């Protein structure tokens, strides 16, 4: 398999980056949802957020790498079997996914640093608190985080459903390309 994308196939780097973004999105959503039910005396009360923040920062770095790679190695051309409207919707969905990812991560950062403390990332490094003066920052960012993360997981689910539709109903190579076949 080639490293870079070609006009007809994804390269290994794009495939790995795709899944290094997709899997943590589901993990973070599930972890975040689960954390909302923890009480102060639960043993995971501090550990859950620590994992959530650390994975979130690493996801941010991965998304940046993925965007950089997209400029270095543009994605393959749409399949000839795709209708023009499908291609336009797919492009719009990808842009919206990136936007929702960044808003979710930014709002998570604003929640985590509202008390002027940095985010510790797996004990490897810290992300400093730079924005701390927004009125009711933690509450406003928390609401944005919940709404946008929920919207993101819904759009990701539709994205996955579209891939399955292309694979099982249209019987085209859309899903196979991102799986490396």
Query: Band of the pLDDT at 109, cuts 50, 70, 90?
Result: very high
**5 falls within a domain:** no
**101 falls within a domain:** yes
Q: For position 116, which CATH number holds?
A: 1.20.950
Query: What's the pLDDT tens digit per position in 70-108?
Result: 999 999 999 989 899 999 999 999 999 999 999 999 999
- Residue 61, exposed/middle/buried by CB under 10 A (0-12, 13-18, 19+)? exposed
Range of the domain at 18: 12-178
Indicate the pTM of the whole model.
0.92
CA angle, residues 146, 164, 26, in degrees to nearest 5: 25
- Joined together, the tokens standing for residue 60 give 């941010």
**58 falls within a domain:** yes
**172 falls within a domain:** yes
CB 152 within 8 A of CB 97: yes
**7 falls within a domain:** no
Kindly state the percentage of the chain with pLDDT values over 70. Answer: 100
Q: Is the dihedral of CA 114, 28, 148, 58 positive or negative?
A: positive
**123 falls within a domain:** yes
Alpha carbon of residue 71 to chain centroid: 18
According to the model, what pLDDT value does residue 71 have?
A: 95
According to the model, what pLDDT value does residue 179 have?
A: 87
**2 falls within a domain:** no
Closest by CA to 50, choosing from 134, 112, 141, 133, is 112
> What domain count does the chain have?
1
Average pLDDT, the chain: 94
Query: What's the pLDDT tens digit per position in 26-80?
Result: 999 999 999 999 999 998 999 999 999 999 999 999 999 999 999 999 999 999 8
Tally Cβ neighbours within 10 Å of residue 110: 21
CB 73 within 8 A of CB 118: no
According to the model, what pLDDT value does residue 1 have?
A: 73
CB 119 within 8 A of CB 109: yes
**78 falls within a domain:** yes
């Amino acid at each position: 398999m080639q490293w870079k994308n070609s006009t007809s196939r994804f390269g290994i780097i794009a495939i790995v980056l795709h899944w290094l973004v997709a899997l943590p999105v589901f993990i973070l959503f599930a972890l975040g949802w689960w954390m909302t039910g923890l009480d102060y005396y639960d043993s995971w009360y501090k550990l859950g957020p620590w994992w959530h923040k650390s994975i979130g920062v690493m996801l941010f770095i991965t998304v940046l790498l993925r965007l950089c790679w997209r400029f270095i190695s543009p994605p393959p051309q749409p399949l000839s079997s795709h209708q023009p409207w499908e291609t336009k919707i797919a492009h719009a969905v990808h842009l919206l996914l990136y936007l929702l990812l960044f808003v979710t991560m930014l709002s998570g950062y604003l929640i985590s640093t509202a008390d002027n403390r940095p985010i510790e990332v797996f004990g490897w490094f810290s992300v400093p608190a730079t924005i701390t003066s927004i009125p009711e920052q933690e509450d406003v960012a928390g609401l944005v985080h919940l709404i946008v993360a929920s919207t993101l997981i819904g759009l990701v689910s539709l994205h996955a459903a579209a891939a399955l539709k292309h694979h099982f109903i249209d019987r085209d190579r859309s899903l196979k390309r991102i799986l490396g076949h």
